[in-house]
Structure 1
């Protein structure tokens, strides 16, 4: 099969071969349960978990006892929000353009009695810090915010959010799924979530970084594993993989991707008058571009762009026929939101890939016109 050029790294990344090599022995030779304390198989598994924690702690400057392994970022977000609001009391602040893992969890908490405020964004996808400050109430417990938006690549001012929140005694959870490995993670966040498969690690494993002083109620019970924060037999190969993937994160990679992305945007906007970039001009991650092909049917265009693998938004919303709620929150009309496509680059994207993708987009749009 002739596969298309892969430009959907924001949806998932390929497993790095170096990560795979570290994982393989834990499927066959070292297959023990990390909770088995009375023989070598269990000891080897536990040692592997500790090594993975050590890699993550060293790379991200967190304590090993503040690392909770989960099945992915969605579970990590659920644990962060539900774990803080176990009593279903208090006030949660989030943003209209958050991932559905956050918005759906917030909606569930609201149905159980938690007060929820969703901050609006401007046309560039940014929040107003003054509005955030006004939204904080005496019973506000938590602010949950993405570091980088998964559809537009807009970078949120998380450091300023954390500083403001902590002045008011409010906890902050940061969804770092799209920023880990590309930006420095914010200092002083109380909770940070991310997934292995966004950083060239395996699917089915994620992390919640949770400060020791944060009172976090477990949402999965059955053995009091991981300091009673998340029970269940640990996914040793997956944890080994995410530990290695985190250790291989290199912030310099995003610089090369940003150059390729900028050239791609410049060429398309120059050649195609219908193309407009969605999101902040300055505060966008270097590997994601969301483009509106004004006047064209985005889904039809997506199908005709058969030589490249891209998306029309978050992979988690791919079954929906509704226009992107993220783009609508930024003020785009339904028609323009339907006309928008996301291109996202990664570790293995080449200059040739982007040249071929650019030519394919231009040729396809001209053919439609």
Structure 2
């Protein structure tokens, strides 16, 4: 099988797996200690957690702390529900459901529109009295990179906190330096599933949303040293390989533009993650295409929204019709994708499309 769905999740890096196994096994089978226990095994596990925390912290700006969570969705909820601010929340029109749905749950949000290129206008005038502004660093469906620095400045001028969902940008781009809160997920940077993090700028106060032992200060629950260690190893690897990974993604992007030259591209050609290609073709039956191309793993949009039957709110926000949105596929390659795999996948996809167009 050829995997082209790296925006949904990434394969576990061998280095992350090795770090996890070291923690699971430990010396003489003693790696199962609770990192919150005061005895020797607990202290050993706690030391592994803190070492990994330092590695994950390298993904973020200086001047903040890392709170481990079960995933990025939890991190976003902690930030949005736990902020000690009164006022409305502003969100971009193409935010992930974790942000969009939470914004609607806590109040009627102000929606910041995006252009046809999928980018928010950095000159957007935000009203005063906002509690928080939420804009993602990189969109998960169409790969556009948002002007988060400019929008963070707008938020600060409006007296609001700025939350950045950096799930798709972490380890690929520099951190959103002017954010107050940043959410990331390990499994999008070749780490394990089941572990995420919220970075909180020094001086920003939050109310815990999961009560109990408050092992993380703002978050209750026993941490898994193995998951945390895998996250730490993946974070270090992403930092070390950032330029190499970006160059590899760009090579595949350039080749993909040739292979799909007669398809329409969704989103900006300039301000984007070059590992994400969202393309559409008039009249395409995407469900049938995915059923036919059983050897190629790709997406019709966000994995979190698959099966809903509704057109993507992201594609609608950039002006696509329902038909155009439903004729869109997303191809996402990564660190371990070869050029040969991309070319083979393209051949299979295009052959299936040709069969649709010939036979209807």
The TM-score normalised by the length of structure 2 is 0.94
Deviation string for 1:111-169 (max 9, x for gaps)? Answer: xxxx4101111111111233x32x322x2121111100000001100111112222333
Aligned to 2:251: 259
Q: Deviations over 1:325-363 (max 9, x none)?
A: 110111101001000000001110001111111211222
SS in 1 for 2:135: strand
Corresponding position of 1:118: 111
Equivalent residue, structure 2, for 1:53: 53
Structure 1 partner of 2:193:
203
Distance in 1 separating the partners of 2:166 and 2:78: 15
Let me know the Cα RMSD of the aligned residues: 1.5
Matched, 1:107 2:104: yes
Match among 284, 297, 311 for residue 299 of structure 2: 311
Question: What is the CA–CA distance in structure 1 between the aligned matches of 2:160 and 2:61, rounded to whole Å?
Answer: 22
Q: Is the 8 A contact 2:59 2:170 kept in 1?
A: no
In structure 2, the CA distance between the partners of 1:288 and 1:23, relative to structure 1 (3 Å rule), is same
Cα deviations across residues 279-328 of structure 1 (Å, max 9, x unaligned)?
11211111000000112112212222222100101111112111111101
The residue number in structure 2 matching 1:44 is: 44
* Distance across 2 between alignment mates of 1:205 and 1:322: 29
Structure 1 CA distance, aligned partners of 2:300 and 2:249? 20
Instruction: Choose the corresponding residue for 1:151, options 122, 141, 148.
Output: 141
Stretches of structure 2 lacking an aligned partner (at least 5 in a row): none
Q: 2:15 aligns with which of 10, 13, 18?
A: 18
> C-alpha distance in 1, partners of 2:332/2:305?
17
Asked if structure 1 preserves the Cα contact closer than 8 Å seen for 2:67 and 2:197, the reply is yes
Return the offset for 1:90: 0.8
Q: Distance in 1 between matches of 2:139 and 2:61?
A: 23
Displacement of 1:27 in angstroms is: 2.2
- Other structure's SS at 1:220 match: coil
2:214 pairs, out of 224, 227, 231, with 224
User: Does the aligned pair in 2 maintain the 1:299–1:339 contact within 8 Å?
Assistant: no
Does structure 1 retain, via aligned residues, the 8 Å contact 2:75–2:183? yes
1:214 corresponds to: 204
Counterpart for residue 68 of structure 1 = 67
Which stretches of structure 1, 4 residues or more, deviate above 4 A after TM superposition? none
Shift of 1:59: 4.7
Q: Identify the residue that residue 150 of structure 2 maps to in structure 1.
A: 160
1:344 aligns with 2:342: no
Out of 303, 307, 312, the residue aligned to residue 324 of structure 1 is 312
Deviation digits for residues 85-133 of structure 1 (CA, Å, limit 9, x no counterpart)? 5x7x3111101110000011111101xxxx4101111111111233x32
**Partner SS, residue 68 of structure 1:** strand
User: Alpha-carbon deviation of 1:22?
Assistant: 0.8
Secondary structure of residue in 1 paired with 2:216: helix
CA contact (8 A) 1:302 1:341 kept: no
- Determine the structure 2 residue equivalent to 1:238: 227
Distance 2:82 2:228 in 1: 22
Q: Distance in 2 between matches of 1:59 and 1:182?
A: 10
CA deviation vs aligned residue, 1:244-266 (integer Å, no higher than 9, x gap): 11011021202211221221122
Change (3 A) 1:19 1:262: same
Q: Which residue does the alignment assign to 1:33?
A: 34
Aligned residue in 2 for 1:367 = 355
For 1:66, what is the secondary structure of its paired residue?
strand
SS at match of 2:90: strand
The CA deviation at 1:61 is 4.1
Gaps of 5+ in 1: none
